[in-house]
Structure 1
Amino acid sequence: MHTLTENPKLTRLAVMVGIAAATVGIIYGYDSSNIGGALIYLTQDFHLDAAGQGLVTTTVVVGEILGALFGGALSNRVGRKPTMVAVAATFTIFSLLSGIAPTLEFLIVARFLLGLTIGVSVVVVPVFVAESAPTRSRGAFLVLYQVATVTGIILGYLVAMALASTESWRWMLGLAAVPGVVITILLLRLPDTARWYIMKGRTAEARRTLSLIEGGAVDIEAELETITAGFATAHTSRWTDLLRGPFLRATLFVVGLGFFVQITGINAIVYYSPSIFDAMGSSDHIVQLGLSALVQVAGLVAVFIALAVIDRMGRRPVLLIGIGVMILANALLVAVFAIGGGEFSGALTVFGFIGLMLFTAGFTFGFGSLVWVYAGEAMPAHLRALGATVMLTADLVANVIVGAIFPSLLEATGGAWTFAIFGVMAVLAFGFVSWLAPETKGRPLEDIGQFWQNGGSWTPKN
């Protein structure tokens, strides 16, 4: 990065990019949690058993997998911004269709289509933000996506709690259209990324966008030359490049990280917190939803801390600390369920609540924040969108597994065994991150390919 000033202020457009693009996470988070409240009443209306609850919950994630598979290629073809606008607009439509679903089959189709739009968004947004944000603030801009996601999760629970007295799952699902409309309007005001413009040979638009984003922080012409050179040496973006040296190691990292993010169990808590609190002895639906929202408030506090330290501490320390907290939280939850058995006293319920808060805080501080950072940073320019695609597809596959089996697993084995399994996954994740995760703090995006070309090191090997 060709810096001209040491501590330049962020430009107005840079701030708009960070806020408007990242807030797409609100619709992702809202959809993740509002189904938890809606399930209470869906179960009654459609006479669902545990397997049926898993089907309704994971249908959207199956759609997300398919959306993620073509999200990167779509954004390469038509642009990052048009893709995100289409995501927000279609999310609005499919949320309304979910709310008016006359039958279970109609609801499942609507949620599948909803998942397609979300799947595209989780691939494209990190790429858009990484390619637009100033290098000095890129980590914080990417963590904003997780801030928005957790905010959406909390909003989903609060809306469900407010509507609990009406028992209206239709309003719970349909109101997701409101943030969809707002975000569509915000995104329409943004330009596409300078790197996408250069990839398409639109240098004048790239120059204008860089000037508006960076202000006087960089030498614009030198930056354009650096970005252009990065694409010129990369030649093409082929899926087979992900499976060949020197980027096979990078592919292993992004696929493994994406899988561990979800297989460690966070969405079991997001989707099924009311059911977990029911297993802990809390039978009042409003209390279940309120406690679920409080758990996510702890996560929001943790992600704000990550936002403050990500560009100072670095990526690896933040990620490892977060996973370590998840391991401790799992140990506490295993103990609570093992001691409580089928009978929970007030004290055990409090410790269980603390365990869920610690688990969520550890996740949002580490995995929740860093998955978006690495989705935007882990790959060189020509493979960035494809790398984000395979990372977040692996994430969503694990999400389907957890979402589908958790209700039956909790019912069949109890909380102690369930959280013991998640704890083992977290320990494996800690070892995986220690082995492969690169430290990308302060590195220009155009330099990241060198890390993998050097065999996983910033220093060339002789």
Structure 2
Amino acid sequence: MTSTWTSKNIPPGGKQNVFPTTASPEHRSPTHRKAFRIGLITASAGLLVGLDTGLISEALGFIGNDFHASIRDQEWIVSVLMIGASVGSLGAGTFSARFGRRLVLMMAMVLMFIGAGLCADAFHLSQILVGRLLIGVAIGICTFTAPLYISETMSGHLRGSMVSTFSMLQSAGILAGYLLGSILSSGGHWRWMVSMPMLPAALLFTGCLFLPPSPSWLIARGQDDRVREVLRSLRDTPAEVEQEFNSLKQEAGKGHVSGLTLLRQQPNFRRSVLLGICLQVMQQLTGINVVMYYMPKILQNAQFGISGAAWATVLIGVINTVVGIAAIFLVNRWGRRPLLCTSAAIMAISLTIAAIITGLHLPGMSATLCLLCALLVFVGGFGLGAGPLVWTLCSEIQPLEGRDFGVGCSTLANWWADWGVSNTFLSLVSVIGFGQTFAGFAFMNVVFIVFTLMFVPETKDVSLETIETNLLAGKKLRDIGR
């Protein structure tokens, strides 16, 4: 799965601030530094999410050899994680509301540690599947709870940068997984690879012990004195503390209609939920996770050696991380629709080139290098727009009252679409070959462009209230940002 956002990533009534604060460390107050540390600890959960993607990509071939795993077995090793993640994301909201964000994050780290341990000590393929399932549940919890906790504890000028840090650390985690896997691949040490998440999971569990409870969670439980205590430790002035406390009390005093009730009663809300689901499905049909999970196999098929394929995969991680950083600054300059269309066009062209090279079985090192370059450009194209923007749009297009429900539906759609693609790729290749498979994904990127032009609104510099008003007034989806 790619970078994950929740409904709280965008402050009510405004646009997300994705630029880090410019205050120099020596001018930051003690409370500012403490808030930054808390945000950074929580955002580190993104590193674990990405680390697994990179590591399993490198370890999959060795696991398959040791356990004589079939193509279907290998697809399930990868895709069972998405089933776990969908379960984790579904349950995260309920459990975090009842037990608190911090405790649920700690539970996710325990599941991650146990799951990685089961995989590392596996004596049968079924044990790896169980371990991967537990890791998936942990990842589903992290991708829902960590950004939610950040948005509820950080002040406005830190919220955007810390949530963006969570997303960026996912890309960094993928790169780290590729790099560690490449180092260990020369000896075929796949058990070391799959055990790697255990250390950061233990460290993050320890870090969570120092996190304060979420003020929003405390206010819902009527612990007003504790709320003020937490806010005083995280905000610079008493005025900020009182202003935020009063805002939380006012919000807690409002009655809310459940998302499911709103879905039944409000046809315009159904439109925004459907748009969010379609965006997430289209994101997965670009083929991104096929490349991220199966890159070593793709390159080995193109006559890369095992070691060469492993190190070439590291380049994918580098491109994914660097372009992800660039996308943070481009999104508020170019706008959503132009960036999405540009992203999909780059992916369509690069996959078409990959389809020609693999479909015609072009020989020689020059063809192999061209294939690698095409896949690098493809990953760069995804990171430029389709990766971060789909999550941003899914938060922006939902009305406030049903935002949790709408984003939850689109997040679940992402996991299931991810499962569907990753669970069928190797089987599809075995039937029709790499060339036609890449051509199919290239065609889906063309469909993505058409879909964007027909239905996706431009939400750059538009307040969430304006988007909500236009949506509920019945305007066409592509016009709700005007």
Partner residue, 2:382: 363
State the Cα distance separating 1:375 from its structure 2 match: 5.8
Match of 1:198 in 2: 219
Secondary structure of 2:423's aligned partner:
helix
Report what 2:459 is aligned to: 439
2:289 match: 267
Does the 8 Å CA contact 2:114/2:134 hold for their aligned counterparts?
no
**CA-to-aligned-CA distance 1:370-413 (integer Å, 9 cap, x gap):** 34445665545554443332222111111111111111222322
The structure-2 alpha-carbon separation of the partners of 1:205 and 1:313, relative to structure 1 and needing over 3 Å to count, comes to: farther
The one of 388, 391, 395 equivalent to 2:410 is 391
Superimposed CA distance per residue, residues 256-279 of structure 1 (whole angstroms, 9 cap, x where no aligned partner): 222222222111111100111012
Q: Does 1:29 align with 2:62?
A: no
Q: Structure 1 residues 262, 106: CA separation in 2 closer, same or farther (over 3 Å shift)?
A: same
Q: Once the two structures are superposed, what CA deviation does each residue of 1:127-185 show, in whole Å capped at 9, x if it has no partner?
A: 33344444456444333223111111111122211112321211110121112122222
Shift of 1:99: 0.6
Structure 2: how far apart are the matches of 1:450 and 1:59?
Answer: 40
What SS does structure 2 have at the residue aligned with 1:247? helix
Q: Which deviates more from structure 2 when the two are superposed, residues 293-302 or residues 323-332?
A: 323-332
Distance 2:235 2:468 in 1: 23
* Structure-2 separation of matches of 1:53 and 1:322: 30
Deviations 1:179-205 (A, max 9, x none): 212222233322344333334444444
Q: Contact 2:283–2:386 at 8 Å: present in 1 too?
A: yes
Choose from 59, 65, 76 the match for 2:97: 76
Matches within 5 A, 1:49-448: 49-136=70-157, 138-210=159-231, 212-213=233-234, 215=236, 219-245=240-266, 246-282=268-304, 284-310=305-331, 315-338=336-359, 341-374=360-393, 379=398, 383-434=402-453, 435-437=455-457, 439=459, 443=463
* TM-score under structure 1 length normalisation: 0.87
> What is the DSSP-based 3-state SS (H/G/I as helix, E as strand, rest coil) of the residue aligned with 1:344?
coil
State the alpha-carbon separation in 2 of the partners of residues 79 and 237 from structure 1. 20
**Distance in 2 separating the partners of 1:347 and 1:69:** 47
What is the aligned residue count?
454
Measured in 2, the distance between the counterparts of 1:130 and 1:311 equals: 20
| Residues 2 and 218, structure 1, Cα contact 8 Å, conserved in 2 | no
Task: Report Cα offsets for 1:183-241 as digits up to 9, x if no partner.
Answer: 22233322344333334444444445555555369855444444544454452434333
Note if contact 2:335-2:458 (Cα within 8 Å) is conserved in structure 1.
no
1:73-121, Cα deviation, whole Å (9 max, x unpaired)? 2222222222222212321121111110111111111211221111222
Letter in structure 2 aligned against 1:405? T
Identity of aligned residues (%): 26
Query: Quick one: distance in 1 between partners of 2:254 and 2:378?
Result: 43
- When residues 378 and 213 of structure 1 are mapped into structure 2, their CA distance, relative to the original with a 3 A threshold, is farther
Structure 1 residues 443 and 147: alpha-carbon distance in aligned structure 2, compared to 1, 3 A threshold: same
Q: Provide the rounded CA distance (Å) in 1 between the counterparts of 2:409 and 2:223.
A: 28
d(CA) in 2 for partners of 1:384 and 1:321?
Answer: 28
Unaligned runs of 5+ in 1: none
Amino acid at match of 1:367: A
Q: Is the 8 A contact 1:60 1:115 kept in 2?
A: yes
Question: What letter corresponds to residue 387 of structure 1 in structure 2?
Answer: G
| CA distance in 2: counterparts of 1:452 and 1:145, whole angstroms | 30
CA contact (8 A) 1:75 1:83 kept: yes
The offset of 1:316, in angstroms, is 4.8
Q: 1:365 to 1:49 in 2, by over 3 A?
A: same
> Displacement, 1:458?
12
> TM-score normalised to the size of structure 2?
0.83
- How many angstroms does 1:2 deviate by? 10
Q: Distance in 1 between matches of 2:150 and 2:396?
A: 10
Q: Which runs of 5+ in 2 are unaligned?
A: 1-11, 15-20
Within 2, Cα distance between the matches of 1:8 and 1:217? 23
SS of 2:49's equivalent?
A: helix
- The aligned amino acid for 2:386 is F
2:123 is paired with a residue whose SS is: coil
* C-alpha distance 237-2 of structure 1, shift in aligned 2 (>3 A): closer
After superposition, give the CA deviation of every residue in 1:347-392 in whole Å (9 maximum; x if it has no partner). 2212211111111112223232234445665545554443332222
User: Does the Cα contact within 8 Å between 1:298 and 1:357 map onto a contact in 2?
Assistant: yes
Alpha-carbon shift at residue 291 of structure 1 (Å):
0.5
Tell whether the 8 Å contact from 2:457 to 2:478 is kept in structure 1 after alignment: no
Maintained 8 Å contact 2:13/2:463: no
- Counterpart CA distance in 2 for 1:221 and 1:424 is 54
